[in-house]
């Protein structure tokens, strides 16, 4: 199964009341873990890469690995650019074969955000790719993305309507109280705001910063219209912790084929839990992937 667009994937999730988990991957091992768990649970899945991951691994390597992996695993899989801001980079990677991108121009004023997103939408459509954008701004830290809490703000429902209309974007990441990275206290999601946005906007809605958000809160957000849930930090922590524990017990170890095994197992358990949280288990049946 070759790489696909996320458009039909998200629309089907929206129609049937579940969300697609989007896991941030970093290397071959994390790709293997996510796809193994998704295959075992028969879940559609999105493999997401931030700009720093693309820089680290190389877009051509990532595209080739994920495309081959999608052929091996008989589930809907796509590669997604997460929180990319550089327009030229996004266009180059789309031209290489990426079918799903997020252009994050949320730090700009509304009008400029619209102009930047519309440019990417027009370009992406010519390649059969779909586009996610963000309105509102999440605080916190994810890789190179750092937004001070005082600079974050929630999505305005009326602006969301206008934004979708002006840009033609396929999905919209909304700010309803989540943040990137680890939370200092339990986040309080603005479900009333989400419900209002859902009633006014037709395109699938996306929840960023889901690491650390309580299980039931994510499920409630899904019930209220979230169709894609982004998870990053909660994957990295068990992976790295398992490696540290391995070296404590095996201080002379040097073979990555050994110390990465417990790391993959620790991440696998989290991926399984998050797939069940999104209610996407057993949703990997056939459907059209056409844009």
Give strand pairing partners of 205: 172, 226
Average pLDDT over residues 37-57: 96
Give strand pairing partners of 206: 173, 228
**CA separation for the pair 21, 113 (Å, rounded):** 26
In the prediction, which pLDDT does 205 show?
97
Tell me whether residue 248 is in a domain: yes
**CA separation for the pair 26, 32 (Å, rounded):** 11
Instruction: Provide the token pair at 217.
Output: 């809160």
**CA separation for the pair 131, 76 (Å, rounded):** 18
Is 80 a known ligand-binding residue?
A: no
Q: How far is CA 93 from the centre of its chain?
A: 17
Query: Would residue 252 show up in a list of annotated catalytic residues for this protein?
Result: no
Is 38 a known ligand-binding residue?
A: no
Q: How many domains does the chain have?
A: 1
56-105 pLDDT, tens digit per residue, is 999 999 999 999 998 888 899 999 999 999 999 999 999 999 999 999 99
Please give the backbone phi and psi of residue 204, each rounded to the nearest 5 degrees, phi first.
-55, 145
Is 209 a known ligand-binding residue?
A: yes
Q: Which of 40, 82, 151, 192 is catalytic?
A: 82
Tell me whether residue 90 is in a domain: yes
Tell me whether residue 291 is in a domain: no
Is 230 a known ligand-binding residue?
A: yes
E runs forming strands in 85-234:
100-103, 130-135, 139-142, 145-147, 171-174, 179-180, 205-207, 226-231
Tell me whether residue 284 is in a domain: no
165-178 pLDDT, tens digit per residue, is 999 999 999 999 87
Tell me whether residue 290 is in a domain: no
Q: Is the pLDDT of residue 150 over 50?
A: no
**CA separation for the pair 46, 35 (Å, rounded):** 9
Q: Is the pLDDT of residue 209 over 90?
A: no
From residue 221, alpha-carbon distances to 45, 135, 217, 270, 287 in Å are 18, 17, 6, 19, 25
Is 84 a known ligand-binding residue?
A: no
CB neighbours of 10 closer than 8 A, spacing ≥ 6? 20, 170, 171, 204, 227, 228
214-265 pLDDT, tens digit per residue, is 999 999 999 999 999 999 989 999 999 999 999 999 999 999 999 999 999 9
Chain-wide mean pLDDT for the chain? 90
Average pLDDT over residues 110-139: 92
Is 212 a known ligand-binding residue?
A: no
Tell me whether residue 286 is in a domain: no
Tell me whether residue 151 is in a domain: yes
In the prediction, which pLDDT does 183 show?
47
Q: The domain spanning residue 269 has which CATH number?
A: 3.20.20.70
Is 231 a known ligand-binding residue?
A: yes
In the prediction, which pLDDT does 101 show?
97
In the prediction, which pLDDT does 291 show?
39
Is 181 a known ligand-binding residue?
A: yes
Sign for the pseudo-dihedral over CA of 216, 221, 222, 226: negative
Tell me whether residue 108 is in a domain: yes
Average pLDDT over residues 153-181: 90
Give the domain range for residue 227. Answer: 7-278
Is 233 a known ligand-binding residue?
A: yes
Average pLDDT over residues 9-38: 96
pTM of the model: 0.90
């Amino acid at each position: 199964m070759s790489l696909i667009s996320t458009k039909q994937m998200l629309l089907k999730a929206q129609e049937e009341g579940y969300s697609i988990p989007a896991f941030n991957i970093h290397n071959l091992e994390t790709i293997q873990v996510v796809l193994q768990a998704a295959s075992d649970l028969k879940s559609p899945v999105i493999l997401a890469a931030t700009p720093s991951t693309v820089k680290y691994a190389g877009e051509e390597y990532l595209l080739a690995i994920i495309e081959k992996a999608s052929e091996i695993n008989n589930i809907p899989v796509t590669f997604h650019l997460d929180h990319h801001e550089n327009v030229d980079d996004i266009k180059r990677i789309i031209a290489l074969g990426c079918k799903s991108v997020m252009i994050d121009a949320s730090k700009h004023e509304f009008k400029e955000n619209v102009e930047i997103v519309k440019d990417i939408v027009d370009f992406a459509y010519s390649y059969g790719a779909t586009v996610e954008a963000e309105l509102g701004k999440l605080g916190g830290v994810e890789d190179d993305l750092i937004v001070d809490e005082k600079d974050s703000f929630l999505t305005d429902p009326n602006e969301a309507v206008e934004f979708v209309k002006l840009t033609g974007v396929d999905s919209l990441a909304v700010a309803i109280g989540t943040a990137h990275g680890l939370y200092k206290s339990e986040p309080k999601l603005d479900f009333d705001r989400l419900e209002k946005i859902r009633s006014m906007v037709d395109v699938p809605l996306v929840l960023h910063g889901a690491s650390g958000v309580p299980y039931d809160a994510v499920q409630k957000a899904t019930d209220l219209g979230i169709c894609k849930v982004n998870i990053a930090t909660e994957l990295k922590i068990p992976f790295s912790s398992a490696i540290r524990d391995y070296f404590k017990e095996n201080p002379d170890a040097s073979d990555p084929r050994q110390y990465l095994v417990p790391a993959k197992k620790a991440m696998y358990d989290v991926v399984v839990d998050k797939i069940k949280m999104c209610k996407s288990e057993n949703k990997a049946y056939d459907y059209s992937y056409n844009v």
